[in-house]
């Protein structure tokens, strides 16, 4: 019996949100095969089950069609961005596109979801993500520790405000690196934030 593995497939970050072109969906179906299992996840990725020995070939095919491929499971998810309804420049599409390749697909103690909103409307629900980035005019606010699941769902807490664009990627990466280095086992990020405190994370970011 063939050994199977899962890959995470996402469209590129763009105005309009998570949009798959019809030919991209055809490519996914053709590359995965007629018997493949494809799962729609809550973090705007498709999980596609593929034969392990064909994983690299399938990834190349998908990437040639303009799709992005990441590891599934215990890793940072690709950036969960808004629809950029205020336009590329005002909503910070450039910043989101710079942030996504830096943070997506990093192996972490537990799956890590990072949200991005181009304005205070927060249509991508960044305060329900592990790390939420909100553009506020020309700077960014970062929130941490959102928990969307269970009866005790909670909003992320404000970690840093008025962060300049040129520090955004390094600040988010510092949070991820600190989590990787200091989490206890498979500790969820929201619990990690409660344990180490906002003050400690603020020192790491600064």
Which has more confidence, 1 or 67?
Answer: 67
* Token pair listed for 99: 């942030």
| Distance of alpha carbon 1 from alpha carbon 175, whole angstroms | 41
Q: Please name the fold of domain 80-205.
A: Sulfite Reductase Hemoprotein; domain 1 (3.30.413)
**Degrees to nearest 5, angle at CA 189 with 185 and 192:** 70
- Give the pLDDT confidence score for residue 153 in this predicted structure: 86
> CB of 98 within 8 A of CB of 133?
no
Q: How confident is the model at residue 107 (pLDDT cuts 50, 70, 90)?
A: very high
The β-bridge partners of 48 are 7, 38
**Res 11: pLDDT:** 95
pLDDT of residue 31: 86
Global pTM reads 0.93
- Calpha distance 77→10 (Å, rounded): 10
**Mean of the pLDDT values across residues 179-188?**
97
Average pLDDT over the chain, rounded to whole? 94
pLDDT tens digits, one per residue of 76-98: 999 999 999 999 999 999 999 99
pLDDT digits (tens, 9 = 90+) for 130-176: 999 999 999 999 999 999 888 788 999 999 999 999 999 999 999 99
Choosing among 3.30.160, 3.30.300, 3.30.70, 3.40.1580, the CATH entry for 4-71 is 3.30.70
* Domain range list for the chain: 4-71, 80-205
Does 36 have pLDDT greater than 90? no
Nearest residue to 70 (alpha-carbon basis) of 22, 108, 16: 108
């Amino acid at each position: 019996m063939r050994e199977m593995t899962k890959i995470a497939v996402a469209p590129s970050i763009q105005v309009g949100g998570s949009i798959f072109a019809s030919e991209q969906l055809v490519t996914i179906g053709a590359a995965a095969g007629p018997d493949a299992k494809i799962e729609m996840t809550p973090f705007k990725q498709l999980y596609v089950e593929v034969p392990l020995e064909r994983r690299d070939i399938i990834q190349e095919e998908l990437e040639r069609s303009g799709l992005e491929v990441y590891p599934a499971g215990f890793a940072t998810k690709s950036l969960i961005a808004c629809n950029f309804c205020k336009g590329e420049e005002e909503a910070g599409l450039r910043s989101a596109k710079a942030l996504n390749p830096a943070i997506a697909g990093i192996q972490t103690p537990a799956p890590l979801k990072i949200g991005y909103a181009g304005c205070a409307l927060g249509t991508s629900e960044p305060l329900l993500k592990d790390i939420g980035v909100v553009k506020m005019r020309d700077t960014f606010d970062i929130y941490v520790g959102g928990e969307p699941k269970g009866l005790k769902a909670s909003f992320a807490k404000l970690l840093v405000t008025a962060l300049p664009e040129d520090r955004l990627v390094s600040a988010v990466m510092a949070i991820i690196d600190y989590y990787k280095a200091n989490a206890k086992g498979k500790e969820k990020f929201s619990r990690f934030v409660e344990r180490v405190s906002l003050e400690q994370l603020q020192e790491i970011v600064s």
